[in-house]
Amino acid sequence: MESGICDRPVIFFDSGIGSFPYARFFHARNKNEKLILIADRANFPYGPKTKETLTGLLVSLFYRIVDLYNPKLVILACNTASIAALEALRNAFPRLPIVGTVPAVKPAVLASRKRCIGVLGTQRTVEEPYIMELAAQYGPECEIVRMAAPGLVEFAEHRWLDAGRDERFLAVKPWADEIAGRGADALVLSCSHFLLLREEFAAAAEECSIQIFDSVEGVVKQAEALLDQDGGRRPPGEGEAKPVLYVSGKDESEGTVSRVYWERLCKFFGFDLGDRILKV
């Protein structure tokens, strides 16, 4: 990284609120770093989009993000976006470190005693050959049960905050049961939105005797390593910086409709809500 960039922000990007678990974990370990979260609600959801459409959209949007915020590092906290467009983004922005989030298939495969794991994600994620290539690399004899759960993505994005523990549990239990019923003893949460339901997945998994895997810690440690590697960390004496969320939209009026909801989300996580919309 270039010198003099310590005060530039670290950006967490997702189609909605999926980056919140990653940003919260990172912030807990790096209180003084300036964090910006971007929720691309203007283009939510990403799962049904083709790889070509999503790649073009993200490259175009990242030009806007880089111009606005001049980040020193970006965490692409979306499995769908990472699998579809990470390579293209790195090619388009060769001087910008971009950490992708890919499904935690490797640890799940290595931990599976039944040699069968489940991968739960968006349609785009579970259809990508990358999932099978990753599994074959670390456990070619391991069976992979791939399941798309677009309804659960919508639930996490729109209902998670207001849903009680019982409602959340009932939303995830059928998926854990289905994975276990198909012979798997490990489940990879391959959509960042599902990490908001990790406690409920863990409870459901315990009943089914399966293990849950996600990429939060690995992604955050990779981001920290990149900051350390090139001297990009903000000096600890600068004090705590509160993460700020910006939401994409087409105009100011569109973004104000759900502003109360975003304010409540930010309050729950201890973030601030930006006073403007990232126009697209």
Q: What is the per-residue pLDDT across 60-108, written as a single tens digit (0 to 9) for each?
A: 999 999 999 999 999 999 999 999 999 999 999 999 999 999 899 999 9
State the DSSP string of 28-49: HH-TTS-EEEEE-GGG---TTS
Please identify which residue in the block is written with the tokens 């993000």. Answer: 65
Catalytic residues: 78, 191
Question: Which of 150-159, 218-227, 256-265 shows the lowest per-residue confidence on average (mean pLDDT)?
Answer: 256-265
The pLDDT assigned to 250 comes to 62
The pLDDT of residue 81: 95
Predicted local confidence at residue 256, as pLDDT = 44
Structure tokens at 103: 């499904």
Distance CA(25)–CA(27), nearest Å, equals 6
pTM recorded for the entire structure: 0.91
Report the candidate in 108, 132, 119 with the shortest Cα–Cα distance to residue 179. Answer: 119
Assess whether pLDDT exceeds 50 at residue 3: no
- Looking at residue 277, its pLDDT comes to 64
pLDDT more than 70, % of the chain: 94
| pLDDT greater than 50 at residue 58 | yes
Confidence at 54, pLDDT banded by 50, 70, 90: very high
Which is more confidently placed, 251 or 175? 175
**Is the separation of the CB atoms in 83 and 124 below 8 Å?**
yes
What domains does the chain contain, in order, with CATH numbers?
10-101+217-279 (3.40.50.1860), 105-214 (3.40.50.1860)
The confidence score (pLDDT) of residue 232 equals: 83
In this structure, the strands spanning 143-148 and 186-189 are unpaired
C-alpha–C-alpha distance, residues 72 and 74, integer Å: 7
**What is the chain's mean pLDDT, rounded?**
91
- Residue 118 DSSP label: E
